[in-house]
A and B are shown apart, each in its own frame.
Chain A
């Protein structure tokens, strides 16, 4: 999986010209890459898009206007989940004790890694689609107006704990920490994707928001 250094530095709260931070993230990458055990799972299901809800497989409902907008025109979606595994959590806990700066760097690097990994899997998924179909960007519980609690439905449908070891806490946080769940729309014809994924999100307070 690709190590996107620039993204790692952005998550670390600095820029690519920051030399010392740069060596910290590089070191972090070396520390974490052997602990990463990336796994993913997905499922193709039918969906029904309404104004502010998305009905999955004719029985499970997601309540989010922004998700419905995102999936507009889709008849089917991929439910998607991925994780870097529990090894990253251990490294993070260990470094928190010995070296905080390095811990924050590992945090940033693994955030960048899970994004790269998801991008790669989704790219493969898109390539394997029948002629004439394309994918939208990923849209995850907790984005915009989509309540994080609905993450539970998603992990249940995918049986993520058994398939890839991705579990939820009672408050719907993911364990292992570096994990992603998402819905991806399947479109007939080409999809115009936002290059900046942040444009689709309404959370203006997010400290990682990218501006164009």
Chain B
């Protein structure tokens, strides 16, 4: 009988721990347990056999760490060798027994993925793919991805399993006592992502005992209708005399597990500290429970923090990261200035956005590359879910693939081409997709026409296996200035789909295009749409009146208990205004020297009405920065003041940049390429130098951290940079710096300045740099000397 036929029909039992069993038989700390597949096959088989005898139906292969990082090609054992031996051991132990299956065990890689660590997402996919392929070849029955404490790594493993096998997949996560993964994802986020990616079973294992898992099991069960597997430790680990113990005995374990079984769980088993005795007792106590499904249909999007669940209260999607009509953003996209994009994101989150729309569509750019970078950058600074907004299919797939979590995709529409291209991607990457009510014939004028398109998309999606909960209908707001029925049509469509339990979304402000005093129309329409059932509004959260309407509507609609959110939003407002009214005025120079950001912004705005941007930089900003730099060198002021001044100059600079891009003022800036070298992931020092140099008017091409020599060389050639700044923090990464310098010398006459904690003047000279900057100010002085 096949595993899938048995699943959900009767409760199944996993085995217990392998690792702690082997430790009890002499496996040393730091020793790779997978080696025992070769050196102690009888021990491994005995462990398996004792679990089978205890009543387990599912046996984990001893391959938890079987990846190419630990078993590289050309080593004593390859990944394939390990998997093959491990499966052989499991098979021998099973010895043809009925209803007993082999689960290929895939644990974490032991590395953190970018941007937290240095393992690129696609590398992680490759590592898992190799193990999965070996497992398929060896004939396993199930793929078990377990002990995942990072959503992103789990996604890599699931994709690898999906792309290289047709086997059932169990994806099992390790939460801490608060119900969070190590990287911060909640139970709901995690389950939503795994379900979206098409796993068959979601599991919780390791980290905690059954009692602690019970605390958040309900959250998991209410996020998805997939079957669950629960494999806890034998209690929380207890340290005694510097050693770890698990204290929950088989009786107690089985007892608490029966409370878990009551909830209809499909598979039960054990992890660290459990023994065949635990499993035997577990089977004895729980074998008569029947697994059942939870009827849950929730629309959820998530990144790696808390999920955004579509409930009664509407969701705000920040629309600002979209270059249409925004010259400054357009320029930032062309310059690959991701700091600016990040800032737009943070600003909207602070103003109350729950999700950020990300659209980088500027003609002439490499959109797949830029969108991917934008998503990675934004996910590095926030765990708020993103709405991937593009009509470029290649960019769409890339972005969906590297996105960490369950994405929202904008959009599919009723055109044949759109549905054929987009829906398979929605299915594969588990997205929630916005469905625009338009097709090859355009946008129907009446509600019935648009409703028909919406229904058609839902129907078509179902053929791809996409649940209606993952479709959000956009009725399309067309301005009432060209059609007086336009608002009414939208409201009717929203009501129609809301009545059927389908979620809706709309870019609200389009309704007033071409009209004066648009805010009045937008806010009223927003309130009407919310009342009709609109699930999410794509709006500009910086527009105060829209957010006022949103909070007021929630309070009026009964979604804001005790008007708490409303009060929290608005109670402090008058006070803030009073404070800003009473402050004194500073000149730009003064404000920068004193490190006052607000004041320097006001001063620069005033100056822009009378002076040229370039003059402002040369006459006020640079002299101010020079004063600060000198004071710092003389040790009359310290790092904090230097940074505050840099921040206030940067704020003023932003305003100048806004002004020049709005007025199409071209400026010829000298380019400096900067990077933290390969292997080095600490970049705060480099970022400080970068901001200072930007304040002096240089254009910085910032390649980020952990940058390969060839990438730096390519950028220097592309931008014809005359100066390169490199940073390295550790003795282990100075080698990469030396190599980068060597490569640069082959193709460019650029000057190279280096800095970082382990470097010294002599060291810098020895690895061939032109200059060593002990402080950020040294770097600035050197740049001014070379480039002016």
Contacts and interface: CB of A to CB of B under 8 A. Distances in A.
Interface of A: 12-14, 18, 20-21, 24, 37, 42-45, 57, 59-60, 78, 85-87, 89-90, 92-94, 96-101, 103-105, 107, 142, 147-149, 153, 156-159, 161-162, 165, 167-173, 175-177, 205, 207
Contact of B643 (A87, A104, A156, A173): A104
B28 interface: yes
B750 interface: no
Contacts of B180: 37
A2 B116 CA distance: 26
Contacts of B115: 93
A44 B241 contact: yes
B477 interface: no
Nearest to B679: A171
B733 interface: yes
Contacts of B117: 167, 169, 175
Given A57-B28, A89-B116, A167-B117, A20 B184 contact: no
Contact of B691 (A100, A157, A159): A100
Interface in B95-143: 107-108, 110-112, 115-118
A183 to B, nearest CB: 13
A86 B112 contact: yes
A86 B183 contact: yes
Contacts of B644: 20, 24, 101
5 contacts: A12-B639, A37-B182, A97-B339, A101-B647, A165-B112
B684 A104 contact: yes
A173 B730 contact: yes
A43 B639 contact: no
Interface string B690-707: 010000000000000010
Please classify the interface of chain A as helix (H, G, I), strand (E, B), loop, or mixed, using the class held by over half of its residues.
mixed
A40 to B, nearest CB: 10
B30 A156 contact: yes
B346 A177 contact: no
A107 B638 CA distance: 16
B672 interface: no
A169 to B, nearest CB: 4
By Cβ-Cβ distance, the 3 closest A-B pairs, closest first, are A44-B242, A171-B679, A13-B639
Given A142-B730, A173-B679, A100 B646 contact: yes
Contacts of B688: 100, 104
A165 B382 CA distance: 20
B757 A207 contact: yes
A24 B242 contact: no
Nearest to A12: B640
A94 B346 contact: yes
B488 interface: no
Contact of A86 (B182, B639, B643): B182
Contacts of A43: 29, 242-243
A101 B116 contact: no
A97 B242 contact: no
B684 A107 contact: yes
A97 to B, nearest CB: 4
A173 B680 contact: yes
Nearest to B729: A173
A90 B346 CA distance: 12
Contacts of B729: 173
Interface string B725-741: 00001111100100000
